[in-house]
Amino acid sequence: MAHDFCLVMGQINPVVGDIAGNVKKIIAAANTARDELKADLVVFPELTLTGYPPEDLLLRPGLMTRVNQGLQALKKQIKGIGILIGHPDGLVRKDLYNAASLIADGQCLATYFKHRLPNYSVFDEKRYFVEGSKSCVIEFKGIKFGITICEDIWFTEPAAHAADAGAEIILNLNASPFKQGKWQSREAEVKQRTLETGLPIVYVNLVGGQDELVFDGSSFALSAEGLPVARAPAFQQGLFPLTLTRQRTGQITVDGELANKEGDVVMVYQALVQGLRDYIEKNNFPSVVIGLSGGIDSALTLALAVDAIGVERVKTVMMPSRYTAQMSLDDAEEMAARLHVQHSVLAIEPVFNQFLDTLSDSFSGLPVDTAEENIQARCRGVLLMAISNKTGAMVLSTGNKSEMAVGYSTLYGDMAGGYAPLKDVYKTLVYQLCHYRNSISDIIPERIISRPPSAELAPDQFDHDSLPAYKVL
């Protein structure tokens, strides 16, 4: 190798099913890497061409026609640089593979088929794909690259087979969803592969949200000794260059920049913002509307929404009843004012009274209980959905995971909405996230955080009257 080789980790955010749009993103990224970074090769994530997870789109006969058209467009338009791109390959419902191809100079130089297909948790790849069995090592500009895909790197054999076939460095394409502590476990597992093979490994991950999943990126490279030599930021699209150098010993070494890793709470907040933003943008919602109660869950939901899509696309509605405390009205108004969001008040008392009057015969002789409480929540749900239907704004549900886990919510009431940002966030973490967001700027009134939580559907009601302490729960 006469000069250092520039390899770029292409940490991009594709859209599931938008093959034409994803092709444009890939071409734009490759051209930027070539012109600005003088790159030789860009490695993109798993199934970048279709987005991940494509799920039952993979069962549609016309999908592979569009995939092949996309691959032809890449062969035609990628010039002066190589790309390693993830895509499906083969025949739908018969011999379809999760594949990666190296494209350069108008040709597909090599294609690898994923060996290990995950079929647990959020993964269902055996429904769509068949397993590959052969290793793939391709020499490109003087370096022998071994190719693996995502789950392959969690097992010894795929990387070992690539090493046995002569690979000098292993490239691993990924679509690995975020969870707390996942980046550490990825690096720890890949370290085992470097120590087993004696080869450096480059791990390129998807970034962005897709329905209930969010991908953090956090792409990285480890040396042959298992030491981190490069790491891309989490939740950030970008092109992150690595320098590959052949030492006098013949060994390939890797060098790049190491981004700082944030703590768990910060990364969870970033994940929630990323997931919410992409759900809104990829589904073309113009705006969102939130029932702002003066409580901590809706306050955090509002903060996330503003950070995700901007204040001009967020509207809040306070819907008080006879049980709503004045402090709730004041705190909701105060937070809306701090963020400069459009805020309105729609009292549900007239609607609630009409329901009670209509149901008076049916309820006659029966004690007041959760039925009356749930009517209030459903009044609010109807109002929010009416605003959504009229304006196109998506309703954000504000319930958290602690409430959802024990059913402390109202079907067709506070559960109404198109997306629930806090659906996987325990109440204890809600408090931590609010403190973190206020450390950036003081947008959530302190009283919202410090007051005992209450649904305010009955006199003197508090969550701890019906639930254990949230730390216990």
Residues classed as catalytic: 46, 114, 150
Among all chains, which residue has been given the structure tokens 């990224």?
29
Spatial CA neighbour of 216 closest among 171, 179, 186, 260: 179
CB-based burial label for 126 (10 Å; 0-12, 13-18, 19+): exposed
Q: Which two tokens stand for residue 4?
A: 């250092």
Spatial CA neighbour of 11 closest among 122, 175, 187: 175
What end-to-end distance do the CA atoms of the chain give, in Å? Answer: 60
Residue 52 sits at the vertex; the CA angle it makes with 114 and 254, to the nearest 5 degrees, is 60
Q: Could you tell me how many residues make up the chain?
A: 473
What is the C-alpha separation between 392 and 288, in angstroms, rounded? Answer: 8
- According to DSSP, the residues that pair with 86 across neighbouring strands are 100
Confirm if 101 and 132 have CB atoms less than 8 A apart: no
Confirm if 241 and 11 have CB atoms less than 8 A apart: no
Confirm if 217 and 207 have CB atoms less than 8 A apart: yes
What is the C-alpha separation between 40 and 62, in angstroms, rounded? Answer: 33
Per 3-state DSSP, the chain is made up of helix, strand and coil in percentages (nearest 5) of: 40, 25, 40
Strands (E), 141-292: 143-149, 169-174, 201-205, 207-210, 213-216, 220-222, 228-231, 238-246, 252-255, 288-291
**What DSSP element (H or E) covers 11?**
strand 5-11
Evaluate the omega torsion of the peptide bond into residue 53 and state whether it is cis, within 30 degrees of 0: yes
What is the C-alpha separation between 251 and 234, in angstroms, rounded? Answer: 30
- According to DSSP, the residues that pair with 231 across neighbouring strands are 220, 258
What's 89's DSSP letter? E
Spatial CA neighbour of 272 closest among 441, 421, 392, 391: 421
